[in-house]
Amino acid sequence: MRRIKLRYVVMFIVGAVLFMNYVMPMVPGLNTLGARYMIVASTSMIPFLNMGDIVATTGVSPTDIKVGDVITFNVAPRFQEQYNYPSVVTHRVVEVINVGSDIYFQTKGDATEKDPFTVPASDVAGLYSWKIPYVGIPILFTRTVYGMALLASYIAMDVAFDYGPSWWKKRQEKEKLMTTVLQETTGVRQAIENLSSSMTKVTAPGAGILLKRNGSGKAELIEAHQSAGQTVRRRAE
């Protein structure tokens, strides 16, 4: 069975998220399937929504929102600090408040009390459309310190196991080639030194040494003694 690489799973999830967030809203017929997504990171909406559910939302006019609808909204920074709320929340509308031309929503988690603030219509990000149960749990885990460390370690090991053996093999081949070249170079140098030593031993003072090929193409050492006018041929080995 072929092992599925984690990097491909991550790429698929990122691609799916980008598709849901930026492509689907612009394609007629697909924009009603979900314009935005979020991962439920708390238990405030149990049993309707569970931690790890991926929730898709559609754009909605504030005047179309009614009591009982589940909306995703942005939480103002002051409320995030004051009540320790996340930046985005998905809760159920329990009351619609009209103040002149402005509309506010009182929201509540199905498993919690009312939110300690009202949501202005301008902060509504979308209306609940559909969900994928529990698929976001791995993503929630990777947001933690341990999850990020585990993911980074796994990807590093995955890349090392993929490219490490081939890199090591190429390195060994390169070292083997360098060793062979060095041995050949050492052998040639040793042969030259041996030849030089041999000529020094057999050559008398006043003699000249010449390397020459004979008619058959073999190299010969020609030793010419100037004093006696003698020429001695020696075959090079």
Mean pLDDT along residues 176-189: 73
CA atoms of 67 and 194, how far apart (whole Å)? 103
User: In this structure, what DSSP letter does residue 50 have?
Assistant: -
Residues 6+ apart with CB under 8 A from 49: 40, 55, 70, 90, 110, 131
Per-residue pLDDT at 201 exceeds 60: no
Say what the pLDDT of residue 25 is. 54
Tens digits of per-residue pLDDT, 121-145?
999 988 998 898 988 787 777 666 7
Return the pLDDT at 34.
Answer: 46
The mean of the pLDDT values for the chain is 75
Set out the domains of the chain in order of their start, with CATH numbers.
6-143 (2.10.109.10), 203-237 (no CATH)
pTM of the model: 0.54
